[in-house]
């Protein structure tokens, strides 16, 4: 029997609640499909940071590297600055394991109402550059507290980094029925990094003649997402742009609580990491009402990556049956709690 070793990092807030439910669903599914999943939980979280001064203990990444995949919840706590928690846990894994392609599918699942009249037209996958750009971490701060204080956040675009994400996005677009890829850019105002971003896109395009393309400025693409959702298919955007656009995509497809993401290292030299796109959501932590659908969809992406395509499809079908029956948590207008949604998905698997 095939056995996959999965590192689970629930992290903070509702991350802890939804990852526990994700593991329940995955274990039920593995038993039905005849493979096994061996989970090891890691307590890397803001609680651990406050107790020990570190999110990731010494030697932690070396151990994490030995797993087949990482199942991640969320990081962030009200009493830890966001940049400390993000750079303490999530970004060292994404950057350390070179998970340069962040894949974010969006569509309106059965039974869910989009705030858009044309919501049913949403069927997008956003590819976010995940290793450099605006979140490269390059920059610095000097003369702290003085009137002359300076802070620089340097957007970094390298030929190698840009080319690999465009190549990945073109290959993904080619695998989809419409074979269309939209380049999101801001090269009118950002005349160095973003111009390189655009140039390399058109160089790579020559190797993918079956893929049609268009180029849209990041501000304009927000209006296209709202007014002409059917005109978009695959979308490639920089780290910051895609971060913002994918929250919009999640809201337009019904709720932040349903949107999944995969942080991929396509070379498979390091494990890839799978997480719901939402954060730790302190406002609903501990209430038992977090929507676990994003985590289940994320689990389906993880199974696909592990080569268990049949199980991944079975899980998606169970999710869709559950949303189709409107077994919803309050964020989708329902009255069910997290556990009830999980139980419905497990029943629908069978």
CA–CA separation, 324 vs 280, rounded Å?
Answer: 26
Q: Which is nearer to ligand ATP, 60 or 254 (CB)?
A: 254
Q: Which is nearer to ligand ATP, 14 or 349 (CB)?
A: 14
Q: Which is nearer to ligand ATP, 83 or 350 (CB)?
A: 83
Alpha carbon distances (Å) from 235 to 23, 27, 105, 197, 287: 30, 33, 10, 14, 35
Shortest-Cβ-distance residue relative to ligand ATP: 279
3-class state of residue 287 by DSSP:
coil
| CB 252 to ligand ATP: min, Å | 14
| CB 57 to ligand ATP: min, Å | 21
Q: Which is nearer to ligand ATP, 236 or 290 (CB)?
A: 290
CA–CA separation, 177 vs 56, rounded Å?
Answer: 41
| CB 290 to ligand ATP: min, Å | 4
Q: Which is nearer to ligand ATP, 71 or 157 (CB)?
A: 71
Q: Please state the three-class secondary structure of 177-246 as a single string.
A: CCCEEEEEECCCCCCCHHHHHHHHHHHHHCCCCCCEEEEEEHHHHHHHHHHCHHHCCEEEECHHHHHHHH
Alpha carbon distances (Å) from 96 to 25, 87, 110, 224, 244: 29, 11, 37, 35, 23
CA–CA separation, 122 vs 233, rounded Å?
Answer: 8
CA–CA separation, 184 vs 217, rounded Å?
Answer: 6
Helices (H), 34-90: 46-52, 60-64, 82-85
Q: Which is nearer to ligand ATP, 16 or 284 (CB)?
A: 284
| CB 77 to ligand ATP: min, Å | 8
Q: Which is nearer to ligand ATP, 185 or 322 (CB)?
A: 322
| CB 141 to ligand ATP: min, Å | 22
Q: Which is nearer to ligand ATP, 112 or 169 (CB)?
A: 112
| CB 146 to ligand ATP: min, Å | 30
CA–CA separation, 289 vs 299, rounded Å?
Answer: 19
For the four alpha carbons of 245, 246, 250 and 251, in that order, the dihedral sign comes to negative
**Interacting residues with ligand ATP (CB under 6 A):** 14, 74, 76, 82, 256-257, 278-284, 290-291, 294, 329, 331
- Spatial neighbors of 297 by CB under 8 A, at least 6 apart, are 105, 258, 259, 260, 276, 316, 319
| CB 298 to ligand ATP: min, Å | 11
- Give φ, ψ of 307 to 5 degrees: 95, 10
Q: Which is nearer to ligand ATP, 238 or 295 (CB)?
A: 295
| CB 331 to ligand ATP: min, Å | 4
| CB 75 to ligand ATP: min, Å | 6
CA–CA separation, 137 vs 131, rounded Å?
Answer: 10
The angle formed by the CA atoms of residues 19, 294 and 336, to the nearest 5 degrees, is: 85
């Amino acid at each position: 029997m095939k056995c996959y070793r999965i590192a689970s990092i629930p992290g903070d807030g509702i991350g802890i609640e939804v990852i526990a439910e994700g593991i329940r669903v995955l274990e039920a599914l593995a038993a039905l499909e005849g493979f096994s999943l061996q989970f090891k939980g890691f307590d890397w979280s803001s609680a651990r940071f406050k107790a020990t001064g570190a999110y990731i203990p010494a030697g932690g990444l070396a151990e994490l590297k030995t797993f087949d995949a990482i199942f991640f919840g969320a990081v962030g706590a009200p009493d830890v600055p966001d940049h400390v928690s993000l750079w303490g846990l999530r970004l060292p894994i994404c950057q350390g394991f070179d998970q340069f392609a962040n894949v974010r599918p969006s569509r309106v699942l059965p039974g869910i109402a989009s705030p858009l009249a044309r919501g049913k037209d949403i069927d997008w996958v956003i590819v976010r550059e995940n290793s450099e750009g605006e979140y490269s971490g390059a920059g610095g701060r000097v003369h702290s507290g003085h009137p002359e204080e300076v802070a620089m956040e340097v957007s970094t675009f390298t030929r190698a980094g840009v080319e690999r994400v465009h190549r990945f996005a073109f290959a993904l677009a080619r695998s989809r029925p419409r074979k269309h890829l939209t380049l999101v850019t801001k090269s009118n105002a950002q005349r160095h990094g973003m111009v390189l971003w655009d140039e390399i896109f058109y160089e790579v395009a020559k190797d993918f003649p079956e893929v049609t393309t268009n180029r849209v400025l990041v501000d304009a693409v927000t209006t296209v997402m709202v007014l002409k959702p059917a005109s978009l298919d695959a979308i490639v955007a920089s780290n910051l742009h895609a971060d913002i656009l994918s929250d919009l995509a999640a809201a337009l497809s019904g709720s932040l609580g349903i949107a999944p993401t995969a942080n991929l290292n396509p070379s498979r030299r390091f494990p890839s990491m799978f997480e719901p796109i939402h954060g730790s959501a302190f406002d609903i932590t501990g209430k038992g009402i977090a929507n676990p659908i994003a985590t289940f969809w994320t689990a389906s992406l993880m199974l696909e990556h592990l080569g268990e395509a049949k199980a991944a499809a079975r899980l998606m079908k169970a999710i869709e049956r559950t949303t189709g029956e409107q077994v919803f948590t309050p964020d989708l207008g329902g009255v069910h709690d997290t556990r009830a949604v999980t139980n419905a998905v497990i029943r629908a698997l069978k």
